[in-house]
A and B are shown apart, each in its own frame.
Chain A
Amino acid sequence: MTQEKQRLVIVGNGMAPGRMLEELFDRAPDVYDVTIFNAEPRVNYDRIMLSPVLSGEKTFEDIVIHDDAWYAERGVTLHRGEKVAKIDRAAKMVTSEGGLAASYDKLVIATGSSPFIIPVPGHQLPGVLAYRDLDDVDGMLGACAKGGRAVVIGGGLLGLEAAAGLKAQGMDVTVLHLMPTLMERQLDAAAGYLLQRELESRGIDVRCGANTKAIHGETCVEAVELEDGTMIDASLVVMAVGIRPSADLAKEAGLEIGRGIVTDATLRTSDPDVFSVGECTEVDGRVYGLVAPLYTMAKVAAEHLTGPSEAAFKHAETPTKLKVTGINLYSVGEFGDAEGTEDVVLRDAMRGTYKRVILKDNKVIGAVLYGDVADGMWYNEMLKSGEDVSEFRDTLIFGQAYQGGGGADPLAIVANLADDAEICGCNGICKGDIVNAITEKGLASLDGVRAHTKASASCGTCTGLVEDLMTLTLGDDFAAGAPAGMCGCTTHSHGDVRRLIKAKELKSIPEVIQELEWTTPEGCAKCRPALNYYLVSDWPGEYVDDMQSRFINERVHANIQKDGTYSVVPRMFGGITTPDELRAIADVADKFEIPTVKVTGGQRIDLLGVKKEDLIPVWDDLNKAGMISGAAYAKGLRTVKTCVGSDWCRFGTQDSTGLGIKLEQLLWGAWSPAKLKLAVSGCPRNCSESTCKDIGIICVDSGYEILYGGAAGLHIQGTTMLGKVPTEQDVLETVGALTQYYRETGYYLERIYKWADRIGYDHIKSVIYDDLEQRAAYFDRFIFSQKFAQIDPWAERVAGAEAHEFAPLADLTLEAAE
């Protein structure tokens, strides 16, 4: 016998009802036909992550929780942009403003909250925004495009995240906060001060004790006036002063209302067929704005919707974290100077670290951490369990790693946690849940753990802990399958690092290491050359190349050989040389007793076995004969190989040699993610082997075919056609644009064929070949960058640059002999 499904209608599609549905379908996939009315015209997304969207670190797609397919698979009807106007409890029916109606057996109200707008004069001017949903973020990004100053009213969690995001988008930013210190509900004065100083050092103007009197402007926002008469120019005002539960709809339906929609501990309202979850809900006299208790509500409501259950919502302290990259703070519990409380405080002003644990009767009742927040969870555990800490009070403030005298091993910390220790605060996931999921479901990737447990899937700050747990549970198996950080110094991948360098305008290696929280003080031989390249590529003319972060070959502009001598390869544009050049090379070889002279595969001549102290005089002689460095050592342009083309060859269709020379003249000096080798063939017989080069040109009667993505090393692969162009000038522009696209988006040491596999050949074609505007823009950026790159490094060094590289500090041989 099949039972008829009940009808469940949900008003609102934020994170709380979204989670409730997941819990519901997990427990009983076939009990309800679900209809959702969403006032926002979109799917369920992670509101906590709006700040990274604002700062440009993430896109909207990155923060979608449930995509269209998710609703479709579960047969959920989602009405987007349909705000519910009326609930008729007698008829058990809801009606939207657009006239859509739906009957229910059970109803869940999840109308959330609305931002509080201070009713000062001018608060309705265009340019005054709240910070609540994606539309607000879009509004802010729109204002950022025009530039100017943003005034953020409210120095709480949300206001500061908005301020940091707007700053990252290039706005001048002022934060106005009514109270004497920032985030006073979560931070004590000392931590608030550290936070203010950090924000100010990032160029954000912070004014505490600032009371807004009015917002001025004719047709849109122009200035903000403070109570003391100060005027601040503003092209954008963001109000982030708090939220108010949205309970009007429930109120009109005759449900019991307090500060929010009143429910019992099972999340039932005064009508037993109507539940309420989320920020609109008042349970046990409290309303909530952080996600963890809302997810608890979701779980409890799902339990009661799917059958008789004992589940009850219970208040718990929720830790607070600020999601501004590079700022670490953590606070939980109480920290006021109440009677009978004692403080244990650790300050390290130089490192900007502040830790304070608040005790009462030898139990932890609160903690405020700034800078070093690794132990936040440990303190929170003690707060929850009410453990007596008198035994280890002496070392309490140093953190868990110092209990029992051990050093700070992150794995040991995680290993020592109890099974019911909370790892993911947002989703209320404990260590035991994660370990069970890993072992029972055979999870081997972070994404897998996120998918099955939700741990670290919301704000992501506990990602490191989850990874530690995986390492602990899986051992080396996990390390092997882990998504790769650039190197051991960071968990950021190359892609993340490249994106963040641009988004946060990081312009030096120490800045990247600091801001992106490298775990080593100065990087390693793997990440430093990569960072140096990214900065060279992203900030031409601004970034000063860090020689100490380049491999020896690029530092001394020659190739180190196994015996510590070097090889020297002068450039021969297009493989063309002259008797004078050859004579000069022969003379150099004689003069410096260079043991081996070899013709290379790239159509030039390699002088092998040059002693380091001879490099400068060798280059001097080659320079004098008109030759420059061939960059045979560079992650950059190497050679353009050519055939003789229409000048000599009876099959040649175009001047392939001439075009090769022009290409090499255009491209030489450019640094790229990995080496770049080109070839130009004068006809499809392809004598210069264009079809296995990074970029190859094949001349035909009617023009030029541009190919790329070939490989003929460890991996062998033919090129793919980018497109055909009619003139030499088109070839130069297209190849320049392609090179620049690769330079801007390639990962360090990623050859062009791997890059193209990753980015997609079709996509590259659409950007560089089909879209003439983009092609021109990339080409222009390439030409600009070349202004700073086309300087012969040999000539610079002959003239005295980097002299310390080429001479010993001291030669004690004579002294010793005496």
Chain B
Amino acid sequence: MNIQVSADAVQWTLVGAVTDIPRQGARCVKRGDMTVAVFRTSDDRVFALEDKCPHKNGPLSQGIVHDGCVTCPLHNWVISLETGSAQGADEGQTASFPVKVEDGRIYLSL
């Protein structure tokens, strides 16, 4: 089926190991002009968002990670790691990218 084909076609890129990122922390992956923030939660889930807050482009990778969200270091917007959407009364969304973890290694599809 079409869906199957497109799933196979996803290009996964190895970016590092889960343990390279501190729990409740983030590291950056650079590609050209774009920076992707790769987050690790306290329960070892991994998420990837463009490293730009939808508010004023603050580097989300530098924020505090809590309960599946990150708080932007510039103006305290809270962004969902899963969807990239701003939480609470704020509105906006940051691009999020598929992540796959296999044998403790992180693969991104950018």
What is the interface of chain A, defined by CB distance below 8 A to chain B? 520-525, 528-529, 547-553, 555-556, 560, 562, 564, 804, 808-813, 815-817
- B67 contact from A522, A548, A556, A809, Cβ within 8 A: A522
Contact A809 B31 (CB under 8 A): no
- With contacts A525-B78, A810-B29 taken as known, whether A804 is within 8 angstroms of B20 at the C-beta atoms is yes
Please give, as numbers and ranges, the residues of chain B lying within 8 Å of A547 by CB-CB distance: 22, 25
Identity of the chain A residue whose Cβ is nearest the Cβ of B16 in the assembled complex:
A809
The answer to whether B30 touches A560, judged by C-beta atoms less than 8 angstroms apart, is: no
Q: A812 to B12: give the CA distance in the assembly, Å.
A: 12
- Cα A556 to Cα B38 with chains together (Å): 18
Q: Contact string, B14-42, partner A, CB cutoff 8 A, digits 1/0?
A: 01100011111101111110010010001
* Selected contact of A808 from candidates B22, B28, B56, CB within 8 Å: B28
Instruction: Decide: A562 and B56 in contact? CB cutoff 8 A.
Output: yes
**Any A CB within 8 A of the CB of B110:** yes
Closest B residue, CB atoms, query A520: B67
Apart from A521-B42, A562-B74, list 9 A-B contacts with CB within 8 A: A520-B67, A523-B66, A525-B66, A525-B76, A804-B21, A808-B28, A809-B15, A809-B27, A812-B13
| B62 interface residue (CB < 8 Å to A) | yes
* Cα–Cα, bound, A141→B14 (Å): 60
Query: Hey, which chain B residues are within 8 Å of A528, CB to CB?
Result: 64, 66
Q: Which residues of B contact A810 (CB under 8 A)?
A: 15-16, 29-30
Known: A522-B24, A564-B59. A808 touches B29 (CB 8 A): yes
Given the contacts A528-B66, A812-B29, A522 and B73 also touching, CB distance less than 8 Å? no
**Interface pairs (13), CB distance under 8 Å:** A520-B66, A521-B67, A525-B78, A547-B25, A549-B24, A553-B73, A560-B62, A560-B74, A562-B56, A804-B20, A808-B29, A809-B38, A813-B30
**Cβ of B65 < 8 Å from any Cβ of A?**
yes
CA distance A562 to B58 in the complex (A): 7
A524 touches B20 (CB 8 A): no
Minimum Cβ distance to chain A for residue B32 (Å):
5
Number of residues of chain B lying within 8 A (CB) of chain A: 34
Chain A's closest residue to B31 (CB) is A812
Q: Is B84 at the interface (CB under 8 A from chain A)?
A: no
Q: Which residue of B lies closest to A817 (CB)?
A: B32
**Residues of chain B within 8 A of A564, CB atoms compared:** 57-59, 62
Is B54 positioned at the interface, with any CB of A under 8 Å from its CB?
no
User: Closest residue of chain B to A560, judged by CB?
Assistant: B73
Which residues of B64-80 have CB atoms within 8 Å of chain A's CB atoms? Answer: 64-67, 71, 73-74, 76, 78
Contacts of B20 in A (CB 8 A): 804, 809
Q: Are B25 and A548 in contact (CB under 8 A)?
A: yes
Collect the chain B residues with CB atoms within 8 Å of residue A549's CB. 24, 64
- Whether B64 lies near A813 (C-beta < 8 A) is no
Determine whether the beta carbon of B66 is less than 8 Å from that of A524. yes
B42 to chain A, nearest CB (A): 6
Known: A804-B20, A804-B22. A816 touches B66 (CB 8 A): no
Q: A809–B25 Cα gap in the complex (Å)?
A: 12
Contacts of A812 in B (CB 8 A): 13, 15, 29-31, 110
Complex CA gap A710/B88 in Å reads: 36
Nearest residue (CB) in B for A564 is B59
A520–B66 Cα distance when bound, in Å, is 9
Complex-state Cα separation, A528 to B29, whole angstroms: 26
Residues from chain A with a CB closer than 8 A to the CB of B35 are: 808
**Whole-angstrom CA separation of A549 from B20 in the bound complex:** 18
Contact of B71 among A525, A553, A555, A817 (CB under 8 A): A525
Number of A-B contacts (CB under 8 A): 91
- Which of B24, B38, B62 contacts A552, CB < 8 Å? B62
Which residues of the other chain, B, contact A562 by a CB distance below 8 angstroms? 56, 74
Q: A191 vs B38: C-alpha distance in the bound complex, in angstroms?
A: 43
Q: Taking the nearest CB of chain B, how far is it from the CB of A780, in angstroms?
A: 34
A804 engages B74 (CB within 8 Å): no
Contact of B42 with A522 in the complex, beta carbons under 8 Å: yes
List B contacts of A553 (CB < 8 A): 73
Q: What A residues does B24 contact at CB under 8 A?
A: 522, 548-549
Closest to A811 in B: B30
For the complex formed, measure the closest distance between the CB of A27 and the CB atoms of chain B, giving whole angstroms: 49
Do residues B32 and A522 form an inter-chain contact, with CB atoms below 8 A? no
Cα–Cα, bound, A520→B24 (Å): 15
Inside 8 A of B15's CB, which chain A residues have their CB? 809-810, 812
- Name the one of A548, A560, A811, A815 contacting B64, with C-beta atoms under 8 angstroms: A548
B13: chain A residues within 8 A (beta carbon): 812, 815
In the complex, A815→B28 CA distance in Å? 16
Task: Report B-chain residues with C-beta under 8 Å of the C-beta of A525.
Answer: 63-64, 66, 71, 76, 78
User: Given the complex of chains A and B, what is the CA–CA distance between A528 and B73 in angstroms?
Assistant: 14
Chain A residues with CB under 8 A of B57 = 564
Q: How far is the CA of A694 from the CA of B5 in the complex (A)?
A: 66
B27 touches A813 (CB 8 A): no
* CB within 8 Å for A809 and B66 given contacts A524-B71, A560-B73, A804-B27: no
Chain B residues near A520 (CB-CB < 8 A): 66-67
Q: CB-nearest residue of chain A relative to B19?
A: A804
Contact A524–B31 (Cβ < 8 Å): no
Determine how close the nearest CB of chain B comes to the CB of A350; give it in whole angstroms: 14
Q: A562-B56, A816-B31 are in contact. Are A551 and B73 (CB under 8 A)?
A: yes
- Residue on A with the closest CB to B37? A809
- In the complex, chain A residues whose CB is within 8 Å of the CB of B58: 564
A811 to B15, CA, bound (A): 8
8 nearest interchain CB pairs?
A: A525-B71, A809-B27, A548-B24, A552-B62, A812-B31, A810-B15, A525-B64, A552-B73
Instruction: State how many angstroms separate the Cβ of B6 from the closest Cβ of chain A.
Output: 21
By a CB distance below 8 angstroms, the chain A residues around B25 are: 547-548, 804
Question: Which of A524, A547, A548, A816 has the largest number of chain B CB atoms within 10 A?
Answer: A548
Given A525-B71, A809-B15, answer yes or no on A548-B23 (Cβ-Cβ < 8 Å). yes
Most buried by B among A529, A553, A564, A815: A564
Known contacts A524-B71, A525-B78, A804-B20, A809 near B29 by CB under 8 Å: yes
| A521 cross-chain contacts in B, Cβ below 8 A | 42, 67
Contacts of A804 in B (CB 8 A): 20-22, 25, 27
Distance (whole angstroms) from the CB of B5 to the closest CB of chain A: 24
Chain A residues with CB under 8 A of B28: 808-809
Q: Which of B28, B76, B78 has the most CB of A within 10 A?
A: B28
Considering the chains assembled together, what is the distance between the CA atoms of A9 and B4 in angstroms?
A: 88
Minimum CB–CB distance from A486 to chain B (whole Å) comes to 14
Q: What separation, in Å, do the CA atoms of A564 and B24 have in the docked complex?
A: 20
Closest residue of A by beta carbon distance from B17: A809
Partner of B65, one of A548, A550, A809, A817: A548
For A520, A523, A525, A810, the residue with the greatest tally of chain B CB atoms inside 10 Å of its CB is A810
Whose C-beta in chain A lies nearest to the C-beta of B30? A811
B7 to chain A, nearest CB (A): 22
| Chain A residues closer than 8 Å to B21, beta-carbon distance | 804, 809
Report Cα–Cα, A562/B59, bound state, in Å: 9
Contact among B23, B27, B62, B67 with A524 in the assembled complex (CB-CB below 8 Å) = B67
CA of A556 to CA of B28, assembled, Å: 15
Give B74 Cβ to nearest chain A Cβ, in Å.
Answer: 7
Query: Nearest-CB distance from B85 to chain A (Å)?
Result: 17
Nearest-Cβ distance from residue A568 to partner chain B, whole angstroms: 16
Complex alpha-carbon distance, A813 and B32, angstroms: 5
**Minimum distance in angstroms from A292 CB to a CB of chain B:** 38
CA distance A529 to B63 in the complex (A): 12
Q: Could you tell me the distance between the alpha carbons of A804 and B38 in the complex, rounded to whole angstroms?
A: 12
B66/A522 in contact, CB under 8 A? yes
Tell me, in angstroms, the Cα distance from A804 to B39 when the chains sit together.
Answer: 13
- State which residues 57-110 of B face A: CB under 8 Å: 57-59, 62-67, 71, 73-74, 76, 78, 110
Tell me which of B20, B27, B42, B62 has the highest count of chain A C-beta atoms within 10 A of its own C-beta. B62
- Within the assembled complex, what's the spacing in Å between the Cα atoms of A665 and B16? 42
CA–CA, A552 to B23, complex, Å?
15
